[in-house]
């Protein structure tokens, strides 16, 4: 008897979740967007049930709000969300670079330098979407080099929130991408040079700069 080609409910739920999360994180479904389960089901080519399950999961992760009055709405980042996000990243990522300083393998140094070169190229071409991808990749690479599974899991969980934050910073201040790229250069240089305190200081300063531009955009207008 041939195996059924119909995807299982779990696979459909996973696919719905992954696609909806991507659409939200990429800004294709910006904050305030009202989502219809029926329309999403048509768009994704599936029934409403896996879409409903995916939306409940996204609500638990803070990406959407579901209420009887308004239905499903894409949730924006509140001040509290932004502060919490940056406080967590500062604690985690400053510790990561402190531990990595002077301990990178040659292949890891080469990978980071390649990433930085690609960042410079994307910046020169004003390809902000690619620059954001490389920005996220650099931070994730650093976490992966440490080999701590809990930290890597945290960074993976934050990945789409990081994308949303970088997107928000870029929209707030168009001069920020160039500054951020230069900051990445100094952070990586301190890690390669074996300067743990300086690498941690630069990472915190880098993240604080992004946070300030979201919370006080008028200062950078």
pLDDT at 88: 93
Residue-wise pLDDT for 170-205, tens only, equals: 766 778 899 999 999 999 999 999 999 999 999 999
Distance between CA atoms of residues 187 and 203, nearest Å: 6
Distance, in Å, from the CA atom of 188 to the CA atom of 183, rounded to the nearest integer, reads 9
The pLDDT confidence band at residue 1, using thresholds 50, 70 and 90, is: very low
Look up the CATH number of domain 9-74.
1.10.10.10
CATH 1.10.10.10 domain extents, the chain: 9-74
pLDDT at 55 over 90: yes
* DSSP output for 114-148: HHHHHHHHHHHTT-HHHHHHHHHHHHHHHHHHHT-
- Mean pLDDT for 18-39 is 90
Higher-scoring residue by pLDDT: 7, 144: 144
Alpha-carbon Rg of the chain, whole angstroms? 20
Mean local confidence (pLDDT), 68-91: 88
Delimiting residues of CATH 1.20.120.530 domain(s) in the chain: 79-220
- pLDDT greater at residue 4 or residue 211: 211
Closest listed residue to residue 205, CA positions, set 180, 175, 172: 180
Tokens of 194: 């074996």
Rounded Cα gap, residues 175 and 157, in angstroms: 28
Query: What is the pLDDT at residue 157?
Result: 80
Give the bridge partners for 66, in sequence order. 72
pLDDT band per the 50, 70, 90 thresholds, residue 5:
low
* Three-state SS at 206: helix
DSSP for 31-68 reads TT-EE-HHHHHHHHTS-HHHHHHHHHHHHHTTSEEEET
Q: Which residue has the tokens 């029926």?
A: 38
Res 220: pLDDT: 53
Is the CATH number 1.10.10.60 carried by domain 79-220? no
214-218, long-range: CB < 8 A, 24+ apart: 214/77, 214/82, 214/165, 214/168, 214/169, 214/172, 215/79, 215/82, 215/83, 217/172, 217/173
Burial of 218 (0-12, 13-18, 19+ CB in 10 A): exposed
């Amino acid at each position: 008897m041939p195996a059924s080609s119909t995807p299982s409910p779990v696979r459909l739920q996973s696919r719905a979740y992954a696609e909806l999360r991507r659409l939200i994180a990429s800004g294709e479904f910006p904050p305030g967007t009202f989502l219809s389960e029926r329309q999403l089901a048509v768009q994704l080519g599936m029934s409403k049930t896996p879409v409903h399950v995916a939306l409940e999961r996204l609500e638990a992760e803070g990406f959407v709000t579901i209420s009887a009055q308004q239905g499903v709405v894409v949730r924006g980042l509140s001040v509290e969300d932004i502060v919490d996000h940056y406080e967590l990243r500062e604690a985690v990522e400053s510790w990561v670079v402190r531990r990595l300083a002077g301990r990178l393998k040659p292949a890891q140094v080469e990978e980071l330098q390649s990433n930085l070169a690609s960042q410079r190229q994307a910046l020169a071409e004003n390809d902000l979407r690619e620059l954001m991808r490389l920005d996220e990749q650099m931070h994730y690479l650093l976490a992966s080099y440490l080999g701590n599974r809990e930290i890597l899991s945290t960074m993976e969980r934050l990945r789409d929130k990081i994308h949303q934050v970088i997107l928000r910073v870029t929209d707030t201040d168009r001069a920020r991408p160039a500054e951020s790229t230069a900051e990445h250069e100094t952070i990586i240089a301190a890690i390669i040079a074996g300067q743990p305190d300086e690498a941690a200081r630069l990472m915190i300063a880098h993240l604080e700069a992004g946070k300030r531009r979201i919370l006080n955009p008028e200062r950078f207008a």
